[in-house]
Amino acid sequence: MPRFADRFATLPAYPLAHIPARKRALLAAGVDVIDLGAGDADLPAPIEAIAAMQQALDVPAMHRYGFGLGYVPFREAIARYMQERFAVTIDPITEVVPLIGSKEGLAHVALAFLQAGDVAVVPDPAYGAYVGGTLLASAEPYVVPLTARNRFLVELDEIPEHVLARTRVVYLNYPNNPTGAIAPREYLERVVRICRERDILLVYDNAYAELGFDGYVPPSIFEIDGARDVAIEFHSISKTFNMTGWRCGWAVARPELAGALARVKNFVDTGSFLAVQAAATAALEARHAFVPGNVAVFRERRDAAVDAFQAAGFACTTPLAAMYLWVPLPSGIESARFADRLREQEGVIVMPGSGFGAGGEGYFRVSFIESPERTALAANRAGRVLAQLQTEDAPQRPAATNAVVVAT
């Protein structure tokens, strides 16, 4: 048997990789499955993106290697978007890195900035690419629990000095998956200040930049003074345009930082399909027509989810951004046990908080990926499972006796 690298052995099992197979089996058994698991909506991509893809398919040049440069109009559309949306001026050639989905960029960036002995600060719960990238770079993740107490923010001030001294990268993601939290501007200013003082790379994952509700408009990290010195920001077409399967995103940073990620990628991929980049360009250009209506659909689903899960006995609060409800469980009910029972007994798929790291224990995540009606039905079934688990866990009381009960 060929030997595995020590580094490989540090990788945890990828959370919840078994769920698609279980879903298939439940469907095959005739169960009415309501899948509120992955952040992967059942909604259509913009027609402009589909038309651009169809046209690109007829152009032989679009079938050739994209290389790192990719489709230049895509880079230009990104630069226009960053300018218009965030008032951030970037050079489309030297400050943009086209990605095959933002996930690979989030993991690959670690290879340029981390090595053995280094630390990356990683939120917990969080998207798995941060820990994965860190471990693949032979570095150590230092996980910071995101809790309601700290408003689900990573407070660098609370990290011990001996850890911070070895920290080369901080991963942040706001609007946040899975908690739905947002980052106040003064918080981002504090983080940027500390990263600049210590020359730490701030990896800012902005995959949900366009999913804000009730007037909340997620910022770019580059709106914060000084962020251009230390930050690299990741964007995705996945959630904004319902294009998760197309695998397309980008990173923005000053040339030295963007160039480092691009250089790593030169050795591991040859760019995404140019036709996909043409479609993403069309999507970005159609954003004024597309995004508000799409956000309205997610907001309606969010409201339905909040109402229904609260009515079913869960104490969840209303998120202002992203596409998730982060639902606390009563203490003593483990999230994996709850999610397994809900799936196997009621056909409802949610993500147990523990799937996002130990810090997610005590919660489960609901994605706004099905209709309000189906989401409400799922909440109802979840309430049934909760009641059942609470009854099962209640201390067994002796049947009526005439013992005197003294309240203490």
Ligand X SMILES: Cc1ncc(COP(=O)(O)O)c(C=O)c1O
Number of residues that bind ligand X (CB under 6 A): 13
| Torsion on CA atoms 358, 359, 362, 364, rounded to nearest 10 | -90
The DSSP line for 159-200 is: S-HHHHTTEEEEEEESS-TTT-----HHHHHHHHHHHHHHT-
**Does position 177 bind ligand X by CB under 6 A?**
yes
**Does position 173 bind ligand X by CB under 6 A?**
yes
Q: Which is nearer to ligand X, 205 or 361 (CB)?
A: 205
Q: How far is the CB of 322 from ligand X (least distance, A)?
A: 8
**Does position 233 bind ligand X by CB under 6 A?**
no
- In three-state secondary structure terms, 242 is coil
Q: Which is nearer to ligand X, 98 or 347 (CB)?
A: 98
For residue 337, give both structure tokens.
Answer: 């046990």
**Does position 179 bind ligand X by CB under 6 A?**
no
Instruction: For residues 299 and 388, give the distance between their C-alpha atoms in angstroms, rounded to a whole number.
Output: 30
Among 220, 236, 277, 281, interactor with ligand X by CB under 6 A: 236
Cβ neighbours of residue 321 under 8 Å, at least 6 residues apart?
174, 175, 180, 182, 208, 211, 212, 213, 216, 218
Among 16, 35, 39, 274, interactor with ligand X by CB under 6 A: 39
Longest dimension (CA), the chain: 88
Instruction: For residues 95 and 205, give the distance between their C-alpha atoms in angstroms, rounded to a whole number.
Output: 16
The tokens 């930082």 sit on which residue?
257
Mark 87-126 with x for binding to ligand X (rule: CB under 6 A) and - for no binding: --------------xxx-----------------------
For residue 17, give both structure tokens.
Answer: 């990789």
Q: Contact, 143 vs 357, CB < 8 A?
A: yes
- Beta strands 249-253 and 231-236 are antiparallel
Among 179, 238, 367, 375, interactor with ligand X by CB under 6 A: 238
Q: Which is nearer to ligand X, 41 or 306 (CB)?
A: 41
Mark 120-149 with x for binding to ligand X (rule: CB under 6 A) and - for no binding: -------x----------------------
Among 45, 88, 207, 252, interactor with ligand X by CB under 6 A: 207
**Does position 242 bind ligand X by CB under 6 A?**
no
Give, as ranges, the residues between 310 and 369 that touch ligand X (CB under 6 A).
none
Give, as ranges, the residues between 244 and 303 that touch ligand X (CB under 6 A).
244, 249
Instruction: For residues 74 and 285, give the distance between their C-alpha atoms in angstroms, rounded to a whole number.
Output: 10
Q: How far is the CB of 99 from ligand X (least distance, A)?
A: 7
Q: Which is nearer to ligand X, 142 or 356 (CB)?
A: 356
Q: Which residues bind ligand X (CB under 6 A)?
A: 39, 101-103, 127, 173, 177, 205, 207, 236, 238, 244, 249
